[in-house]
Structure 1
Amino acid sequence: MHLEPMGLALVLTAIDPAIGGVLVRGEKGTAKSTAVRGLAEVLPEVEVHEGDRFSADPRDPAATSPDGPFEARARVRRPARLVELPVGATEDRLLGSIQLEKALTSGAVEVEPGLLARAHRGVLYVDEVNLLHDHLVDLLLDAAATGSVSVERDGISLHHAARFVLIGTMNPEEGELRPQLLDRFGLTVEVAAPRDPALRVEVVRRRLAFDADPEAFVEQYAARQADLTRRIADARSRVGSVVVTDAALLKVAEVCAAFEVDGLRADIVTTRTAAAHAAWVGRERVTLADVRAAALLALPHRRRRNPFDAPGLDEDLLDRILGDEELPEPDPEPDPDPDPQPDPPGGGDDPQGEAPETDGPDSPSHEDQAAEPEPEDQPAPQARPAPSGSGGDQAAARAGAAYRPRLLTVDGLGEGTPGRRSRARGASGRRVGAGTGHGSLHLVETIRAAAERSARERSGTTGGRVRLRPTDLRTAVREGREANLLLFCVDASGSMAARRRMSQVKAAVLSLLTDAYRRRDKVAMVGFRGREAQLLLPPTGSVEVAAALLGDLPSGGRTPLAEGLLEADRVLRREHLRDPRLRPLLVLVTDGRATAGADAVERSRLAAAHLAARGTPAVVVDCEQGPMRLGLGRTLAGHLRAEHVPMEQVSADGLVDVVSSRSAGRSPGRVA
């Protein structure tokens, strides 16, 4: 049975959950969620004790459950669960908490299992894992790596097993995971919609058939699904006995070292995956084909050296490292009672010799079993065409080397989506108080409010029970960090075409993009040259695309400054309608000239005043140079009510200093 890379990765991690799960990256509409839900349907059933909420394995003598003991309880079989972790889940929902009703009515502390407990021996699915808050990702990845959960808080002391198949899906256009979190996923695959019209037609045909008669469609594939379930169960039973020779371990180490992956997690995951692949195709020991299949799934996301490296693996290099010679047979075990007169070479039978390998990847009997992943090449992000200019076009200047910028924060206290940049109040972070809005329950403040109200109602009498009412409920007020929108508005006209100047500007912007990647910000980019401005990159979390566009940005032509400012205003207004809580910062890089049209100067003044009236926080980097200066950049900054910085005071590092000081020194207004 041949499987595509995504199907193979899901099957292998189902065979050995210790691999650490699968991250599926792909554009929207590529059946990522459908494949994950389909995996749960083909997993073997699990046996549990009746009434055990933690799904301990009755056949494992070492397995325990907080709901035990189970001596008098029957055993039942049930399907493996598919547990979905929503992006907005709280830590209590993930790990578990006390049952509030029993705590308030009887004073008993009883644990309500979290999603990790429900997922034990099943599948935990996180759609849009790149949008999940970092501390929740850390918790579930720790559980996936250790196979257990420990909770010590709020009167709870709980420890239970949590071995599950972890599957995360994401659309890279909506933002990336940090490299530290990428490394915690065992395997990763890139998926894309098929380009072959025949395959696309088959997908549509099957979907229409399912919609017309779901029961008949399921029945049509029931036998094949049952066979897949059986094969997964058989592979699970064999994976522990697959032989991983020293030669195989050495080959895995050579591959990981050649691709310069950090740490030893890659070696461990690749070895486990190779063993699972061998069990899947029916081999008793790991071969080069298994190592190759494992490397293609376990290494691509670990070889990324910076946020803008393209994912993937050089398969030609991988094949050169693996070589053409198959791994040697394992040495036979020494004979505890050796024959004092062994047979001469070439004579007699060797009772410990192994039969020649007949089930290798090239064997005809396993032609359709050696499921080696062959991921499709992903096209590089295509840069949008730069606005056309009236002559003077030049090749794009190369950005200088990126560096680590200082922290750029927006002043004040926001309420945006969780991130790692500016101060904000939200569902995560440290608890700083209590309120009556939405959020996780603050138990102590809830009981205190109920007690105070009950005391007032008793009018000075003593004794009596504290009764809880809905108006007594208090939620925790937490302070953490939020993500922001960085909008870069870059003048790419002829007056900005000096290569050294553009190189410095691009280096600074690239550094800020790298920092935005780490802090989960949104970024956007507007370029203006010729007679128009163009939104090169709509607000997105995919800073990879922004970096590619920045590198390809050419310069030349007239300066449509007013059009650039108005386009920036449109971008900010649209984004404010989508998410009013997202706080922006406009970084305008220009020499202040406005040369597109007879009334260009006046239109630029009006556009700047319009942005200032909306309270848009901005920084103007004046790129005008030479002994004779018109001071247009300073005038523009005055109209924008923005910080003005002359170019001679701004190196690549200086630009970041300006943005940081501007962000910390002024509270931005709302964009209406």
Structure 2
Amino acid sequence: MSIPEYPFTALVNQAQYKLALIIAAISPAVGGVLVTGPRGSAKSTLARALAAVLPEQAPFVTLPLGASEEMLLGSLNLQQILDDQKLAFSPGLLSKAHKGVLYVDEVNLLPDVLVDLLLDVAASGVNCLERDGISHRHASRFLLLGTMNPDEGELRPQLTDRFGLSVVLDGCYDIETRVEIVRLREAFDLAPTEFVARYAEQQAQLSASIASARENLAGVVFPNALRVCIAERCQAANVDGLRADIVWGHAARAHAAWFQRTAVEEVDILAVEELVLAHRRQSPPDRNVTSRPPQQESTSSTQPAQPPASKPFTRPADSFSKQTLENDEPFKKNRDETEQKKIGDWGAMLAQQQATGQVSALKLSRSVSTHKFDTVMGQLRGGKKKGGSVGASSRSRKAGASLDWFRSLVASAGNWPPTRLKFRQAKSARAVLHLVLLDTSGSTLYSRQFALAKAAIVRIAERAYLDREQLLIMGFGNQKIDTLLHCGRSPKELRQ
């Protein structure tokens, strides 16, 4: 016996979250919803409740964190294909979520490889599975929902941008709201069936409204003046690329259809602005935007109330930047002389550069004899350059790449030993954390060593960003320890 889900219409507050889910349900072209918030803010509850109000009986599929690539995409039975000459496809989670909802809890903890695959299929609507020269394609259109707690790590900006809409929950409620939420939750836990039946009529009305908005979506007119307004606001927000412009247009059209309008109006653009730009804006919102769309006459005398804009979660400000290092003069002559006097009997510690080992590529002869095959195989366990042969050199050999015997034998056409080795994609290694302890005491704050330390930290951060590694910077001094950069994926650039 299945336990009923908490009704969508019974949830109190979270107006922005509800609006984002409704817009995504009306127009899946927006590309999914990313929800960021603390624990206990109804992220998962509201996401699971959405499936019940979709017009059709939509499946709700949950992607576990420990899922493999085959579990997500599906698999092909190569043995049956070779024996029976028939395609044997085992559907994955993407196939099961077709015309439904695919929910990923703690999406920030999902491996980057799976997140990339997931977002690619969500954008194209087609899942293409290729194994050893055999391909299979099937439709996979679903509403992607991802929730995350920023305290447990952040998504890379490249992946965050792939989500069409973003909602940031602050988890702050007044006393009356907290009491009402607890009262409703207790009523649901005591009698789930009766509680759901109480909201059945509201659920049906919401489902009918979403279905009606879907039907009217294609007929909503989008004035060119409002398109110009979107472009100017995206440019003012300093967003990367044009994805924000495209998503904003889809979201504004869906918002107009939701309120049964035949044309997009200024209120539609403003209502979804924060949903589109919250995770893309690279500069603070401009309160004095000069480009205002022309005032349009509305068909109704009253406009719907605007959803309250939630406060975006921001990373604590970094204490230094590359530009500061290049332009800053960390010490002056008289200050340097004063520090030399303070050194005393300890002496000065000269800055030294840590030696790093040189990585050299493994070079192999193109002619491989049979009696050396085992030796060659042992040398090749570190991986090889994609698309290369046995004798090809590799610029970066990552551990973990294993030999794909099936593809190697097929590519070698019966030759032994195989002359063309094929490798499986290397699995991502365990997470690497760079912990940097920085002396921020007054005696070193303006010294040359401190400037050199900042330069070294910038280099570490750049390297960690390229390798998708984590970074934590802590400062100690004056009998206290401060966290300068919280633990998470290394940012693209350390900012002031």
Larger radius of gyration: 1
Contact between 1:399 and 1:505, CA under 8 Å: does it hold in 2? no
For the residues of structure 2 that align with 1:279 and 1:477, how far apart are their CA atoms?
A: 45
Using the TM superposition, name which of 275-284 and 22-31 deviates more.
Answer: 22-31
Shift, 1:495, TM fit = 3.2
- 2:70 corresponds in structure 1 to 92
Structure 2: gaps (5+ residues): 1-8, 327-355, 361-380, 383-395, 409-422
CA 1:96–1:400 in structure 2 vs 1: closer, same or farther (change >3 Å)? closer
Structure 1 residue 109 displacement after superposition: 3.4
1:32 corresponds, among 43, 46, 51, to: 43
Q: What is the aligned-residue RMSD (CA, Å)? A: 3.8
| Partner of residue 21 from structure 2, selected from 10, 15, 18 | 10
Change (3 A) 1:499 1:537: closer
1:122 and 2:100 aligned = yes
Question: Which structure 1 residue ranges, 5 or more long, are not aligned?
Answer: 46-78, 328-355, 384-395, 415-420, 426-430, 435-441, 446-474, 552-672
Q: For residue 237 of structure 2, what is the aligned residue in structure 1?
A: 259
How far, CA to CA, are the matches of 1:403 and 1:156 in structure 2? 53
Secondary structure at the residue paired with 2:22?
Answer: helix
Q: Which residue of 2 aligns with 1:322?
A: 292
Q: Deviations over 1:280-330 (max 9, x none)?
A: 0111100011111232211232233xxxx7xxx626245x4335x424xxx
- The one-character-per-residue Cα deviations of 1:564-602 (angstroms, maximum 9, x if unpaired) are xxxxxxxxxxxxxxxxxxxxxxxxxxxxxxxxxxxxxxx
Equivalent of 1:490 in 438, 457, 470:
438
- Deviations 1:308-357, CA, capped at 9 Å, x for gaps: x7xxx626245x4335x424xxxxxxxxxxxxxxxxxxxxxxxxxxxx63
Report if the CA contact (8 A) 1:520-1:541 is conserved. Answer: no
- Aligned amino acid, residue 376 of structure 1: S
The 8 Å contact of residues 321 and 494 in structure 2, kept in 1 or not, is answered as no
SS in 1 for 2:104: strand
Counterpart mapping for 1:193-208 below 5 A: 193-208=171-186
Q: Alignment partner of 2:309: what SS?
A: coil
Counterpart for residue 376 of structure 1: 310
Provide the rounded CA distance (Å) in 2 between the counterparts of 1:258 and 1:493: 39
Residue 156 of structure 1 and its aligned partner are, at CA, apart by 3.5
- Return closer, same or farther for 1:509/1:247 CA change in 2, 3 Å cut-off: same
Kept in 2, the 8 Å contact 1:402–1:507? The answer is: no
Match of residue 167 from structure 1: 145
SS where residue 476 of structure 2 aligns? strand
**Does residue 22 in structure 1 map to residue 39 in structure 2?**
no
Give the Å deviation of 1:246: 1.8
C-alpha distance in 2 between matches for 1:301 and 1:163: 24
Distance 2:190 2:46 in 1: 20
Which of 390, 395, 403 matches 1:433?
403
Which residue in 2 is equivalent to 1:505? 453
**Contact in 2 for aligned 1:483/1:519 (Cα 8 Å):** no
SS of residue matched to 1:14: helix
Please tell me whether the aligned partners of residues 148 and 162 of structure 1 are also in contact (alpha carbons under 8 angstroms). Answer: yes
Distance across 1 between alignment mates of 2:39 and 2:398: 32
Specify the alignment match of 2:417 in structure 1: none
Aligned partners of 1:85 and 1:124 also within 8 Å: yes
Deviates more, 1:274-283 or 1:251-260: 251-260
Corresponding letter in the other structure for 2:310: E
Q: Who is 1:236 aligned against?
A: 214
Q: Is the 8 A contact 2:236 2:286 kept in 1?
A: no
Pair 1:502–1:202, CA change in 2 (3 A): farther
Report the CA distance shift for 1:397/1:215 in structure 2 as closer, same or farther (over 3 A).
closer
Which structure 2 residues correspond to residues 82-161 of structure 1 after superposition, within 5 A? 82-99=60-77, 108-154=86-132, 156-161=134-139
Q: Alpha-carbon deviations, 1:407-444, whole Å to 9, x = none?
A: x9999999xxxxxx99453xxxxx4237xxxxxxx878
Cα distance in 1 for partners of 2:187, 2:82 equals: 52
- CA drift of 1:243 comes to 0.7
Contact 2:76 2:131 in 1 (8 A): no
The CA deviation at 1:483 is 3.0
Secondary structure in structure 2 of the residue aligned to 1:316 = coil
Partner Cα distance (1:424, 1:195) in 2: 49
Q: Is the 8 A contact 2:475 2:484 kept in 1?
A: no
What corresponds to 1:541 in structure 2?
488
SS of the residue 1:490 aligns to: strand
Does the 8 A contact of 1:95 with 1:115 survive in 2?
yes
Opposite residue 484 of structure 1, the aligned amino acid is V
Distance, in Å, in 2 between the alignment partners of 1:514 and 1:108 is 49
How many residues align structurally? 410
Q: 1:410 to 1:37 in 2, by over 3 A?
A: farther
TM superposition shift of 1:263 = 2.2
Query: The residue matched to 2:67 in structure 1 has which SS?
Result: coil
**Counterpart AA for 1:373:** P
User: Counterparts of 2:106 and 2:245 in 1: how far apart (Å)?
Assistant: 27
Aligned partner letter, 1:358: T
Task: Tell me which residue corresponds to 1:249.
Answer: 227
Show the counterpart of 1:284: 262
Aligned ranges 1:302-313 → 2 under 5 Å = 302-304=280-282
Which sits farther off after the overlay, 102-111 or 256-265? Answer: 102-111
Provide the residue aligned with 1:351 in structure 2: none
Q: Structure 1 residues 409 and 258, CA, compared in 2 at 3 Å: closer, same or farther?
A: farther
Counterparts of 2:247 and 2:266, CA distance in 1: 16
Shift of 1:36: 0.9
- Note the alpha carbon deviations across 1:50-84, whole angstroms, 9 max, x for none: xxxxxxxxxxxxxxxxxxxxxxxxxxxxx201112
Distance 1:147 1:80, change over 3 A: same
| CA distance in 1: counterparts of 2:58 and 2:325, whole angstroms | 48
Q: Distance in 1 between matches of 2:150 and 2:25?
A: 25
Distance 1:3 1:260 in 2: 28
What is the SS of the residue equivalent to 1:433?
coil
- Alpha-carbon distance in structure 2 between the residues aligned to 1:476 and 1:380: 39
TM, length-normalised to structure 1? 0.54
Aligned residue type for 2:171: A
2: CA distance, partners of 1:222 / 1:123: 21
Equivalent-residue separation in structure 2 for 1:476 and 1:101 (angstroms): 18
Partner Cα distance (2:319, 2:105) in 1: 39
* Structure 2 SS opposite 1:116: helix
Partners of 2:325 and 2:454 within 8 A in 1: no
Which residue does 1:401 correspond to in 2? 323
Supply the distance in 2 between the matched residues of 1:399 and 1:157 (Cα, whole angstroms): 47
CA separation of 1:141/1:379 partners in 2, compared to 1, >3 Å: closer, same or farther? closer
Contact 2:63/2:105 (CA < 8 Å) preserved in 1? Answer: yes
Question: 2: CA distance between counterparts of 1:514 and 1:175?
Answer: 18
Does the CA-based 8 Å contact 1:517-1:541 persist in structure 2? no
**Matched residue SS, 1:150:** strand
What SS does the corresponding residue of 2:137 show, helix, strand or coil?
A: strand
1:515 deviation in Å?
4.5
Secondary structure of 2:204's counterpart equals helix
How high is the TM-score relative to the length of structure 2?
Answer: 0.72
Superposition map of 1:587-666 within 5 A: none
Q: How far does the alpha carbon of each residue in 1:105-148 deviate from its partner, in whole angstroms, 9 at most, with x for none?
A: 86753111222221111111122222222232222212122221
Deviation at residue 173 of structure 1 after TM alignment: 2.4
Whichever residue aligns with residue 295 of structure 2, its letter is E
Superposition deviation, residue 179 in structure 1? 2.3
1: distance between equivalents of 2:66 and 2:133? 25
